[in-house]
A and B are shown apart, each in its own frame.
Chain A
């Protein structure tokens, strides 16, 4: 197993690996990542993981994620790990964490919320970690993280 893992992680020279994505969410993660230039992207789906059972994985050549992208990914794949590769070496490996304040990343599910009425930035605050819940700073409604939609 260790051997296999090494190969997967080191398969790109420079770039980012997002590992331990909740199985089935890889496409949502791809929607978030801004791929402005035609970089090599490798996707693995439904891979075996000792940690979370089944997982998805993405490897993107020559890409450093912005903080917004990282925060958005944390929302839909809360158990994911973010790995930065330089010259085939892992230079950093971080568990994604939901930020306390989530600015303009989520669409409020409440149809009566001002954020769905006017063109304004949404803002949510993390109220509970396990399971993750967020509260809209405007209408003050609280939602489990799975119920919110990521803004596009």
Chain B
């Protein structure tokens, strides 16, 4: 693995190997030492959480970071090309971690520079480290990625996170339940992908009463702005808000996941149940990113 740009580039074996290394980093069986290694964090669009997670991952391994964030291209005013900006930054750093609103920007960067590139999100396209940390959270809590039943809830139409997760999990033998308002259903191309791979899925309107057989319930936010009117939103929002009472009768191994930040789609009374897993999930992001960086830098 030279870069991490898209989940499409990863084989099942590469994913499992990465999970294994993340696990060993978490338990201290592998202690990568990235002393004197510098990661350039290029965030052409703000995402404080993702940036912090990468920054933490580097520093946990004795590495350091240089950070460029905010504008699309800091050199744009001087008329420097994006390629030149990237080439220059590649001279300073050992690895480039890049987030951009432009789709395909990370792929392009990986073609321009010699150092490894990690895609930390390119518009609506890919966010592979999120997908991998989700997979790591699933394997860690369930002991496997095979034969699981996974519920995805919320905005399934526009949510990049749930798309990547559905596609990544489709490499394994899973079954899905999709919970969303009808106009925010999983896009047809993803459903077609799943059907081609013989992955079973069911589309449902309500979380309540439909989660007893799940191993994972992955909740995402539904933005109010997606609805035609605030009244329309109020009418359905209750169907996609998870609270403690809905968890009566779920499987003991069931975990509730969420990419964070949450607004009100998971009631805070869920937080102190044994099912809540969103904060450990964020922590898993650091181990997963440590593993990715270590692999790309040839340290493990």
Contact = CB atoms under 8 A, between A and B. Distances in A.
Interface of A: 110, 112-115, 117-118, 120, 136-142
B79 to A, nearest CB: 13
B189 A138 contact: no
A115 B105 CA distance: 9
A114 B108 contact: yes
A112 B101 CA distance: 8
A126 to B, nearest CB: 15
Contacts of B122: 139
A133 to B, nearest CB: 10
A140 B128 CA distance: 13
Which 10 residue pairs across A and B have the least CB separation, nearest first?
A138-B104, A139-B103, A114-B104, A139-B104, A114-B108, A112-B103, A114-B105, A114-B102, A138-B107, A112-B123
Contact of A114 (B6, B81, B107, B126): B107
Nearest to B7: A140
A110 B103 contact: yes
Given A117-B82, A141-B125, 6 more contacts: A112-B103, A112-B123, A115-B104, A118-B108, A137-B104, A141-B103
Interface of B: 6, 8, 81-83, 101-105, 107-108, 122-126, 189
Contact of A118 (B82, B101, B103, B124): B82
26 contacts: A110-B103, A112-B102, A112-B103, A112-B123, A113-B102, A113-B103, A113-B104, A114-B103, A117-B82, A117-B102, A117-B105, A118-B81, A118-B108, A120-B108, A136-B104, A137-B104, A137-B107, A138-B104, A138-B107, A139-B104, A139-B122, A140-B8, A140-B104, A140-B125, A140-B126, A141-B103
A139 B105 CA distance: 8
Contacts, number: 45
A117 B103 CA distance: 10
A117 B100 CA distance: 12
Contacts of B108: 114, 118, 120, 138
Nearest to B109: A114
A141 B81 CA distance: 24
Contacts of A118: 81-83, 108
A140 B190 CA distance: 13
A142 B125 CA distance: 12
B42 to A, nearest CB: 14
A138 B82 contact: no
Contacts of B123: 112, 139
Given A112-B124, A118-B81, A140 B6 contact: yes
A139 B103 CA distance: 5
